[in-house]
Amino acid sequence: MQGAGERNTQSHYGYVIVGSAFVIAAVIVGTVFTFGVFLDPLLADFGWGRGVLSGAWSLCFILSGFLGILAGRLSDRFGPRRVVLICNLFLGLGFAMMSRVHAIWQVYLFYGGLVAIGMSASIAPLQSTVVRWFPRRRGVMLGIFLMGLTSGVMIVPLVANWLIGMVAWRTAYLALGIGSFLVISLAALFLKRGGVAKDELACTADCVERRGGNLEKMNELSFREAFRTSQFWLISAFFFFQCFAMMIIMTHIVSHAINVGIASTTAVAILAVIGGISSVMVIPEGFLADRIGIRKTAIIITSVLVVAMAWLPVTGQKIWSLLLFAVMFGVAFGGLDVLLSLITSRIFGLIALGAIIGFVNFALQVGGAMGPFIAGIMFDLTGSYQTAFLTGAGAAVIALMIALFIRPFGENADCHERMTRKKESVTNGMKCSGELEKREGLPFDEYRGGVAVL
């Protein structure tokens, strides 16, 4: 059993972990999202088609999601530091080699391949590490970490644009490669794999007995065990349809606004409002998940998404109406990654969390790649985004219906249902939670019968 001093030291180091993950995520994602900044200089120098060049970004997006499964599994086994440092080598090399491109296949190799490997470390290894360090306040800590993603997207492209203006795009790529490698390498040195100590899991004698007396089986599944459950596939489908709808907006909202007669500067401002609201909302939505449970939070966030998607086709040219949509959509968009880590950790446990997050994130990114592609085809066929946005609204409705069925499974579900009936009955049945509350000050409602509140 851990001593109080050791537990306090670990608790305090958790904040170092969050800070390190914040910096790494900001640099990786922010650097990768500079692709649009370099788009026009590359087109001007080489005359490639916009669609052909953009294909390198699509390849990077999908491949990084697939490789995220492997990065998550390796992080589960070897810890996050090694995985991030290795992926960082590929990220820095990919951007450095982009400064030497002369043919389109090189862009696909360096950006679609090497950069994709580097980007695979931005989600699963970091999110699973933050979750492991915080048995309490996970939602809030994940919210802080995820602000790194949005901060990077807002800051790094501006730096890249300044570099292009100062030293041209080739030198700018080289500077980004070297700079990102140095910053990520330094921040990764502070990463350390953590975990909830076994004696700190609140449990009930009857649930442990039903599981053959093995506490680990209460809510800890291997990747293979999780893969075989219906909940695994429901959660993957939930995020697939959510991101399908969301990426339609993130890719096409500016073009839609311009297409209906709104000035380009105002159209870009709508996208900025979405980014600002989503960045602000990640911490409150994480706090909400900690207080009322992830299932209710998922239903609320997805309901807001459905309303926003249904509202968009009737906004017309009204700027106030589009801004209202941007606020509603930003609220929903901010909760996407918070829900990803919380749902997977609280249903499947921590043993294989990196691999599980990696797979679910891959499903999310496939949806995010398909949505904009299908929306573009619909626009080409109809000359309007109305059908595309209604399709996105339909995907959001499907995600909402799936959210209603996300819950603990098997005997965990039985324990969860019984333990939430009466607080008094839980107290009488607790084997170790009273001791835990005295040691850690853990709120009673945070764990019930060994199963985190959903």
- Give the pLDDT score at 219: 58
Please check whether residue 3 lies inside any domain of the structure. Answer: no
Cα 91 to Cα 40: distance, rounded to the nearest angstrom: 22
Run of H or E residues at 202: none
Please check whether residue 6 lies inside any domain of the structure. Answer: no
Please tell me the least confidently modeled range out of 144-153, 199-208, 344-353, 397-406. Answer: 199-208
- Give the pLDDT score at 154: 74
**Each residue of 35-69: b (16+ CB within 10 Å) or e?**
bebbeeebeeeeebeeeebebbbebbbbbbbbbbb
Please tell me the least confidently modeled range out of 23-32, 172-181, 424-433. Answer: 424-433
% residues pLDDT > 90 (the chain): 25
Same domain? For 128 and 246 the reply is no
pLDDT tens across 385-437, in order? 889 899 999 999 999 999 998 876 544 444 444 443 433 344 344 444 444 34
- Average pLDDT in the chain: 78
Supply the range of the domain harboring residue 183: 11-188
**Three-state DSSP class for 452?**
strand
pLDDT tens across 106-144, in order? 999 999 899 999 998 887 888 888 888 877 777 778 778
The mean pLDDT value for 247-252 works out to 80
Same domain? For 53 and 181 the reply is yes
CATH assignment of the domain containing 261: 1.20.1250.20
How many other β-carbons are positioned within 10 Å of the β-carbon of residue 259?
14
The mean pLDDT value for 24-44 works out to 84
Question: pLDDT class for 149, splitting at 50, 70, 90?
Answer: confident
Question: pLDDT class for 293, splitting at 50, 70, 90?
Answer: confident
Beta bridge partners of 451: 448
Question: pLDDT class for 10, splitting at 50, 70, 90?
Answer: low
Please check whether residue 4 lies inside any domain of the structure. Answer: no
190: exposed, middle or buried (Cβ count in 10 Å: 0-12, 13-18, 19+): middle
305 close to 281: Cβ distance less than 8 angstroms: no
Please check whether residue 450 lies inside any domain of the structure. Answer: no
Which of 123, 155, 188 marks a domain boundary? 188
pTM here is 0.69
Please count the helices (runs of H) and the strands (runs of E) in the chain: 20, 2
CA angle 337, 341, 344 (to 5 degrees): 130
155 close to 183: Cβ distance less than 8 angstroms: no
Run of H or E residues at 89: helix 80-98
Cα 364 to Cα 242: distance, rounded to the nearest angstrom: 8
Same domain? For 335 and 223 the reply is yes
Query: What are the DSSP calls for 220-246, one per residue?
Result: ---HHHHHTSHHHHHHHHHHHHHHHHH
Q: How many structural domains does the chain have?
A: 2
Question: pLDDT class for 64, splitting at 50, 70, 90?
Answer: confident
Same domain? For 158 and 285 the reply is no
The mean pLDDT value for 335-358 works out to 80
Which of 155, 188, 221 marks a domain boundary? 188
Same domain? For 42 and 172 the reply is yes
Please check whether residue 152 lies inside any domain of the structure. Answer: yes
